[in-house]
């Protein structure tokens, strides 16, 4: 929503404060005032006012000239977790997939150019890109993101691709817009997407859509393993049928919990 579309009740100061909380992440665990202002795209005085408020409320801490998130921030995420009944609706199904196939399984939704993990279960312990709840990664570099992007309208997909400045996270990451469009359109036609070493080396994943009551894609479900031990072909042959059944069960469950569907879909 751009400035021209914002309602008169829109609170700019609140938006800046939330943007500051969101700007922390991998490689940005601690930042100075000027670094935060640059990340958020606001003036240092505006950043300072928001930071003072967040420090006072206990969401941000300060060590000399550097700021960092405090554990109280986790309460914001846990509010979604419990409101969306993740432990009741999603986690049992993810545990089921991991019990069957090992490795890891996740559910994510689309937020702008990124996917956000809303549920995750794993038996994996090796060092790799973290899929913890709340983690966000570029949609173009994940099987989850490719499935979620395949659920966009043609107009919204065109807008996404026109504005996209994809980053190569590995030497295998697809960054060419034409190739990405072809991959997303293939995912739309097949009803699933795969990714090999796109987000991080060693990750091969398969994802399917989770559909809402009216049939639109509201989230995505994936199962992943180590590149070299699994391949896209083996995941499709061995896991796709069960993943589709699990996705269908989640969709049916969402019909009994409309608030959960609304939370996942952002409506």
Question: What does pTM read for this prediction?
Answer: 0.74
3-state secondary structure of 5: helix
150-169 per-position pLDDT tens digit: 999 999 999 999 999 998 99
Q: Stretch 202-228: mean pLDDT, rounded?
A: 93
pLDDT of residue 128: 56
Q: How far apart are the first and last CA of the chain?
A: 14
55-72 per-position pLDDT tens digit: 999 989 999 999 998 888
Where residue 6 falls among pLDDT bands split at 50, 70, 90? Answer: confident
Task: Enumerate domains of the chain plus CATH numbers.
Answer: 3-69 (1.10.10.10), 77-265 (3.30.450.40)
pLDDT of residue 29: 87
The DSSP string of 40-67 is: HTS-HHHHHHHHHHHHHHTSEEEETTEE
Where residue 207 falls among pLDDT bands split at 50, 70, 90? Answer: very high
Where residue 266 falls among pLDDT bands split at 50, 70, 90? Answer: low
At a CB cut-off of 8 Å and minimum separation 6, what does 101 contact?
223, 225, 238, 239, 242
In whole angstroms, what is the distance from residue 94 CA to residue 10 CA? 38
pLDDT of residue 112: 87
Where residue 87 falls among pLDDT bands split at 50, 70, 90? Answer: low
Q: Stretch 13-42: mean pLDDT, rounded?
A: 89
Where residue 11 falls among pLDDT bands split at 50, 70, 90? Answer: confident
Q: Is the pLDDT of residue 127 over 60?
A: no
Residue entry with tokens 């890109």: 129
Where residue 1 falls among pLDDT bands split at 50, 70, 90? Answer: very low
pLDDT of residue 84: 60
Q: Stretch 92-115: mean pLDDT, rounded?
A: 93
pLDDT of residue 78: 65
The percentage of residues in the chain with a pLDDT greater than 70, rounded to a whole number, is 87
pLDDT of residue 76: 74
Q: Is the pLDDT of residue 213 over 70?
A: yes
Where residue 108 falls among pLDDT bands split at 50, 70, 90? Answer: very high
Count the helix, strand and coil residues of the chain and give each as a percent rounded to the nearest 5: 50, 20, 30
**Average pLDDT along the chain:** 87
Where residue 2 falls among pLDDT bands split at 50, 70, 90? Answer: very low
């Amino acid at each position: 929503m751009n400035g021209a579309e914002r309602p008169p009740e829109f609170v700019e100061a609140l938006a800046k404060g939330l943007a500051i909380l969101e700007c922390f992440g991998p490689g940005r665990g601690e930042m100075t005032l000027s670094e935060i202002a640059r990340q958020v795209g606001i003036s240092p005085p505006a950043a300072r006012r928001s930071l003072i408020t967040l420090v006072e409320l206990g969401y941000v801490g300060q060590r000399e000239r550097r700021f960092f998130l405090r554990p109280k921030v986790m309460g914001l995420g846990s509010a979604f977790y419990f409101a969306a009944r993740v432990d009741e609706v999603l986690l049992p199904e993810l545990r089921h997939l991991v019990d069957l196939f090992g490795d890891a399984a996740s559910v994510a939704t689309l937020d702008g150019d990124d996917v956000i993990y809303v549920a995750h279960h794993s038996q994996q312990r090796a060092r790799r890109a973290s899929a913890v709840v709340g983690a966000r990664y570029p949609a173009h570099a994940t099987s989850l993101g490719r499935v979620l992007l395949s659920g966009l309208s043609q107009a919204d997909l065109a807008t996404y691709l026109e504005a996209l400045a994809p980053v190569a996270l590995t030497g295998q990451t697809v960054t060419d817009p034409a190739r990405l469009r072809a991959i997303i359109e293939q995912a739309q036609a097949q009803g699933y997407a795969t990714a090999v070493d796109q987000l991080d080396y060693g990750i091969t994943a398969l994802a399917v859509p989770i559909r809402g009551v009216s049939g639109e894609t509201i989230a995505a479900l994936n199962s992943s393993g180590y590149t070299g031990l699994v391949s896209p072909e083996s995941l499709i042959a061995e896991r796709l049928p069960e993943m589709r059944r699990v996705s269908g069960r989640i969709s049916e469950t969402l019909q009994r919990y409309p608030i959960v569907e609304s939370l996942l879909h952002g409506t």
